[in-house]
């Protein structure tokens, strides 16, 4: 099929001063779709080229118009006041939301093109009419998605999981006991409860966009770091804490941070407030509060570099199975097949 894919972000490293967690997995999924024989046409601007100056060598097709496609695939965008809600041309305006509306109006509404919405940030309301519209399927990166939605987790390459060596990862020097990579967005409460107390006791690094930090004067915030530096930082860190916004935690939606950390040998601690926490980490890495985080970090430091440390990393790697690209690709194939069949039925109805 020809898949018209809309995303606002990057396929490569992109630029440092912008949020885009999709850099860790988007290209993985896109290349797999191409390997399945589909042709993917990108329907938003080539930000890799125009913002980051990265020429991807003509490997991918970007089309600013309204090309003929078989399926519309949207990484869902939502209103961000002062950014994509302002008139086109105003300073700081991004046109991702306007373009998404144009694509929906043309393909989903006017033509009835089968449409897949990947609500990666849980911003599409549970009662949004799009969820009930014929020919539209909503996917979420959650173990317990919204009723009616399908599961499509952030994918990690099977080869990356298979190649990880727990013993080698455990043997690496880890001068930073605690690290966190990610932005502040809706994480203040969990940061306060699970991370900040431990940051007062251990050397640590917090990388990302944190604009309101006055309540944590003891925390070492470094600001955003280049995307290639993420795996390097995790490779220097003994542990991280999986900090999720409440809307993620309630649905068991884990971000890409878990496989970024584990593949670098950085042990992830999961707050007990995360639904299905035991599916993401071994039970000894589930923490109930900051005191638990501190206790677990002391234990990790005591076993660092040992066989027990390697075994723990191996357990964390086993819990990445649910994110494997092969599983996510199979889930996506099922959705695309269903959308294709529904589209064929509608086209036949029109011909009659």
Q: What is the pLDDT of residues 114-169, one digit of tens each?
A: 999 999 999 999 999 999 999 999 999 999 999 999 999 999 999 999 999 999 99
Q: Is 65 exposed, middle or buried (0-12, 13-18, 19+ CB in 10 A)?
A: exposed
Task: Enter the tokens of residue 236.
Answer: 């220097």
Using CA atoms, how far residue 140 sits from 134, 229, 251, in Å, is: 18, 28, 10
pLDDT tens, position by position, 187-217: 999 999 999 999 999 999 999 999 999 999 9
Task: Enter the tokens of residue 18.
Answer: 């912008």
pLDDT tens, position by position, 30-62: 999 999 999 999 999 999 999 999 998 788 999
Using CA atoms, how far residue 206 sits from 196, 200, 239, 243, 310, in Å, is: 10, 13, 12, 12, 25
Instruction: Tell me what the pLDDT averaged over the chain comes to.
Output: 95
352 — pLDDT class (breaks 50, 70, 90): low
* Spatial contact of 28 and 40, defined as CB atoms under 8 Å apart: no
Radius of gyration of the chain from Cα atoms? Answer: 21
pLDDT above 90 (res 351): no
- To the question of pTM greater than 0.75 for the whole model, the response is yes
Quickly tell me which residue has 């093109």 as its tokens.
Answer: 113
344 — pLDDT class (breaks 50, 70, 90): low
Give the span between the Cα atoms of 339 and 116, in whole angstroms: 8
Q: What is the DSSP letter of 191?
A: I
* Spatial contact of 150 and 328, defined as CB atoms under 8 Å apart: no
Using CA atoms, how far residue 305 sits from 127, 172, 238, in Å, is: 50, 7, 10
Cα 200 from chain centroid (whole Å):
29
Longest dimension (CA), the chain: 73
64 — pLDDT class (breaks 50, 70, 90): very high
345 — pLDDT class (breaks 50, 70, 90): low
pLDDT tens, position by position, 318-339: 999 999 999 999 999 999 999 9
pLDDT tens, position by position, 107-129: 999 999 999 999 999 999 999 99
Task: Enter the tokens of residue 280.
Answer: 């993401």
Close Cβ partners of 188 (under 8 Å, ≥ 6 residues apart): 212
Q: How many helices (H) and strands (E) does the chain have?
A: 14, 13
């Amino acid at each position: 099929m020809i898949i018209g894919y809309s995303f606002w972000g990057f396929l490569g490293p992109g630029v440092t001063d912008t949020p885009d967690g999709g850099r860790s997995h988007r290209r993985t999924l896109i290349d797999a779709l191409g390997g399945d024989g589909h042709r993917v046409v990108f329907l938003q601007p080539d930000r890799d080229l125009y913002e980051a100056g990265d020429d991807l060598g003509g490997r991918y097709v970007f089309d600013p118009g309204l090309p003929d496609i078989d399926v519309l695939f949207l990484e869902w965008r939502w209103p961000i006041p002062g950014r994509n809600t302002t008139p086109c041309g105003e300073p700081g305006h991004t046109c991702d939301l306007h373009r998404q509306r144009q694509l929906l109006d043309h393909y989903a509404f006017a033509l009835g093109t089968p449409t897949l919405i990947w609500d990666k940030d849980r911003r599409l309301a549970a009662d949004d009419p799009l969820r009930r519209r014929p020919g539209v399927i909503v996917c979420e990166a959650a173990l317990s998605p919204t009723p009616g939605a399908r599961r499509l987790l952030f994918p990690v390459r099977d080869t990356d999981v298979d190649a990880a060596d727990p013993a080698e990862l455990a043997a690496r020097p880890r001068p930073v006991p605690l690290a966190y990579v990610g932005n502040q967005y809706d994480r203040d409460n969990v940061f306060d409860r699970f991370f900040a107390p431990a940051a007062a006791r251990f050397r640590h690094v917090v990388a990302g966009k944190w604009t309101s930090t006055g309540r944590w004067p003891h925390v070492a915030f470094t600001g955003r770091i280049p995307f290639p530096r993420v795996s390097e930082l995790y490779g220097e860190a003994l542990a991280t804490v999986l900090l999720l916004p409440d809307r993620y935690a309630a649905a068991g939606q884990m971000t890409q941070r878990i496989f970024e950390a584990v593949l670098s040998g950085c042990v992830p601690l999961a707050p007990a407030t995360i639904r299905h926490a035991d599916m993401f980490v071994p039970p000894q890495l589930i923490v109930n509060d900051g005191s638990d985080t501190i206790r677990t970090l002391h234990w990790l430091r005591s076993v660092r570099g040992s066989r027990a440390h390697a075994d723990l990393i191996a357990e964390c790697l086993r819990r990445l199975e649910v994110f494997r690209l092969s599983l996510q690709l199979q889930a996506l194939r099922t959705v695309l097949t269903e959308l294709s069949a529904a589209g064929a039925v509608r086209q036949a109805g029109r011909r009659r």
